[in-house]
Homo-oligomer: A and B are copies of this chain.
Amino acid sequence: MKQPRVESVEKALSILEAFSKDRPALTLTEISVETGLYKSNVSRLAASLERYGYLKRDPNRRFRLGPALWRLGALYRRNFELGESVRPVLRQLVRETGETASFYVPDQDERLCLYRENSPDPVRHHLDEGARLTMQSGAAGHVLAAFHLGDDTARARLDADGSCVSQGERNPHISAVAAPIIDATGQFHGALAVSGPLERLNREALAKARAVVVASARALSRGLA
């Protein structure tokens, strides 16, 4: 059997993927170059995307992502009844550790920062909600790789309780600790993590943080009916 797919749809979606934090507005030719599609083709695909509000054109006729994405994105996040329960947990983690707390979910073969509460400390690990990182490194990355992809190498890095720590792995100045969220049915939802500057979040602090994160993850996991 052949994997079914619809080419033009995937082309259209790849147009959306061309946008990023650093490139929030693109001209037709830029999109064309970025995606490798012909300009005429992009023009037509973009027209359809625009109709549905997935793209819009700013005053100088450049393309930007459209409001429909935000609307559907909000719907997506609502699916996680988690939202209501995760935020307080993150805030609690920030209070208890003084560091930044985040919640990651798998997005394709990468990981997505779904929720985040930043440390009050001016020197902190900063990252935006909606940011996407690799699953190949970082404490949360390993947890996701192990539970979502079923990666054995990653699984080997995990503690018996499923938690994982990393020091200066993805970013040389950051250490972190993460634990999985798994509901009663065994369904994996994502990873809870605390991260901060390596200097402050040293071996000792990490060990303490690990206990807190694991406990919070347990509580959250239980909270999912």
A residues lining the B interface (CB < 8 Å): 3-6, 8-10, 12-14, 16-17, 19-21, 24-25, 43-45, 47-49, 51-54, 59, 64-79, 105-108, 112, 114, 128-130, 132, 185, 187
Nearest opposing residue in chain B for A14, CB measure? B52
Contact A78 B21 (CB under 8 A): yes
A44 / chain B contacts, CB cutoff of 8 Å: 4-6
Q: How far is the CB of A37 from chain B (nearest CB, A)?
A: 12
A14 / chain B contacts, CB cutoff of 8 Å: 52
7 residue pairs bridging A and B, Cβ less than 8 Å apart: A4-B48, A8-B8, A13-B48, A52-B108, A65-B75, A66-B107, A67-B76
Tell me, in angstroms, the Cα distance from A79 to B55 when the chains sit together: 12
The one of B9, B21, B73, B108 that contacts A69, using a Cβ cutoff of 8 Å: B73
Nearest opposing residue in chain B for A190, CB measure? B67
Nearest opposing residue in chain B for A107, CB measure? B67
Contacts known (A6-B44, A48-B10); A24 close to B79, Cβ less than 8 A: yes
Contacts known (A53-B108, A59-B187); A4 close to B47, Cβ less than 8 A: yes
Contacts known (A65-B79, A78-B24, A130-B75); A6 close to B70, Cβ less than 8 A: no
Contact B73 A70 (CB under 8 A): yes
Nearest opposing residue in chain B for A79, CB measure? B24
The one of B19, B51, B108 that contacts A72, using a Cβ cutoff of 8 Å: B19
Q: How far is the CB of A163 from chain B (nearest CB, A)?
A: 23
Tell me, in angstroms, the Cα distance from A112 to B69 when the chains sit together: 11
